[in-house]
Amino acid sequence: MESSMEGCQTQFIYCNGAATEVLKVGAAHHLSGTDVLFLIIPGNPGVVGFYRSFMQTLHGMLGHPVWAVSHAGHCAPPGSMDMVEDASAADKRDAFGLNGQIQHKLIFLQQHVPRGTSLVLVGHSIGCYMILEMMKREPGLKVLKAVMLFPTIERMAQSPQGKLMTPLLCQLRYLAYLPVFLLSLLPHSLAALLIRLLFSSIPALDPSVVPPSVQLLSGDCAVNSMYLGGQEMRMVLERDDVTIRRNLDRLIFYYGATDHWCPVSYFQDMRRDFPHGDIRLCDRGLRHAFVLDAGREVAQMVAEWIRRSMRT
């Protein structure tokens, strides 16, 4: 099922048996194996609508098609679609867990991107961990560059935000299901008003993030996001130095200076251990959830990095 709005095309598909939203900007129907495709692997929640402004700016500056693939189950599929094709099969392969989400991205590439397409992977937060795993599991992927924005690739539960969220996501997650269910019953207009109130402290809020935030209140989407978050706290432990070293010339890391999910000490460790890597520290005061108010600004930075790297 497809829809188009403001130069973006939205598709809902089943991938690895789970409902998946794909957002496309530029050349949606004519991708060939000779193209360069920018593919966004989102953070958590993996709702692609949050990246709309980022994607439009990136496409406008570079001209290449830019796609974003949601995490499995991190969407509100149309009424004609269930969240999964086969519930028992989805449970068996843990489709909404961290490993299932990584497999989901690899299957998406196999089924929906022509073989031989050159990829620029752009990860955000846990999406960076997924990209490293994708490159590890499928070393034949034709990845030109992988851009890691605010990367949560190690010691998540030990980070300041991880220490706060681990009890909620791992021990108390089920207690959050009732308020999530009640919020899902709100009329769309009231839910949008609530979101705007929650974000009222962000003066430059990108209005395009309000609809996906409302989508996140749809119940199943939020539950799947919390389930993934609990697995992140338990499974994202040691940094994968082997994969990083093997692909160092293709990786760009961008850490936040005030990021409570990956503190500056993680950046300093990376710089010490990989002195020849392209590892940057934000000097613009950007938040971990940059899509809320700085999607265009970050896209402009990424475009410049890619332009320079393509010339060398």
Q: pLDDT per residue over 134-192, tens digit each?
A: 999 999 999 999 999 999 999 999 999 999 999 989 888 778 777 888 888 888 889 89
Q: Of residues 53, 70, 125, 208, which has the active-site annotation?
A: 125
Q: Whole-number mean pLDDT of the chain?
A: 92
Domain boundaries, the chain: 9-154+235-310
Please indicate, yes or no, whether the overall pTM of this predicted structure exceeds 0.85: yes
> Averaged over 235-257, what is the pLDDT?
98
User: How does 215-234 read in b/e, with b if 16+ C-beta sit within 10 Å?
Assistant: bbbbbbbbbbbbbbbbbbbe
Which of left, alpha, beta for 284 (phi over 0: left; psi -120 to 50: alpha)? alpha
> Averaged over 204-229, what is the pLDDT?
91
At residue 216, the pLDDT reads: 87
Of residues 273 and 116, the one with the higher pLDDT is: 273
How far from 293 is each of 63, 200, 259, CA to CA, in Å?
23, 12, 15
At residue 177, the pLDDT reads: 79
Q: Of residues 59, 64, 124, 288, which has the active-site annotation?
A: 288
> Averaged over 182-205, what is the pLDDT?
89
Whether 218 is a known active-site residue: answer: no
As assigned by CATH, the class of the 9-154+235-310 domain is: alpha beta
Residues 6+ apart with CB under 8 A from 217: 180, 183, 184, 186, 191, 195
Q: Name the nearest CA neighbour of 148 among 251, 23, 293.
A: 251
Whether 259 is a known active-site residue: answer: yes
